[in-house]
Amino acid sequence: MDEAAQRALLVELGASLFARGYSVGSAGNICVRLPDGFLMTPTNSSLGRLEAARLSKLDAAWNHVSGDRPSKEVFLHRAVLEARPEAGAVVHLHSTCATAISCLAAPGEDAPIPPLTPYFVMRVGRRLPVVPYHRPGDAAMEPAVRAAALGARAMLLANHGPVVSAATLADAVAAAEELEEAAKLALMLRGAGARVLSPAQVDDLLATFG
Ligand code: 13P
């Protein structure tokens, strides 16, 4: 997919996430890896009203080269994409249920959402580390984000929200949606003694679908 197509898809998927309530106000940011750098949502922009020509472009060394000023969370996306060379995109949201779990889970916890359904396991994986709270845009979070990303496709920033990576932008958005659904189910079923997938069932899903 060329850069023009990536820009168009980022605008389309941002609007879709916003329209369905995965992002409100100017919350959330998205980064896409390009052959010569990165595309990033501009700071203080609504995911619902992105403009292809105004997206922030960064070069391969993460210097801002064109478009509006990039998200204050650029270091977060950089840490994930550097730790996961196979990842092509990162989506950070403040989606309600995943953020609720980020407020309930202990920082350092590794699996705050149980493996209730196959698609959560297939899209997000076995691990979902909880990174200790930092103020949004605080680059001091970078080492903890990097460490979390080395062993997991997604993480929760404590009292802040989810960060999800995948091979493509469409896959990262789909994974962020599955994470939000899994968080919603986990909250609905808290204390209800729901059956969860067994370790062998989780192994089978990961062996079959990666
Ligand atoms: P930006 O507007 O700088 O992207 O920040 C929004 C956000 O979600 C902070 O976590």
Beta bridge partners of 66: 57
Ligand 1 pocket mutation, candidates 10, 17, 23, 29, criterion most atoms within 8 A of CB = 29
pLDDT the model gives residue 210: 82
pLDDT the model gives residue 82: 98
**DSSP 8-class letter at 168:** S
What are 163's two structure tokens?
A: 């960060």
pLDDT the model gives residue 39: 98
Comparing C-alpha atoms, which of 169, 168, 197 is closest to residue 182? 197
What are 128's two structure tokens?
A: 């979902």
Q: Flag residues of the chain having pLDDT under 50.
A: none
Whose C-alpha lies nearest to ligand 1, atom 10? 136
C-alpha–C-alpha distance, residues 143 and 159, integer Å: 18
Query: Of the residues 73, 178, 180, 181, which is catalytic?
Result: 73
**Which tens digit of pLDDT belongs to each residue from 26-81?**
999 999 999 999 999 999 999 999 999 999 999 999 999 999 999 999 999 999 99
Query: Of the residues 3, 12, 109, 119, which is catalytic?
Result: 119
Residues 6+ apart with CB under 8 A from 141: 75, 76, 131, 134, 157
pLDDT the model gives residue 179: 98
Is 68 a pocket residue for ligand 1 (Cβ < 6 Å)? no
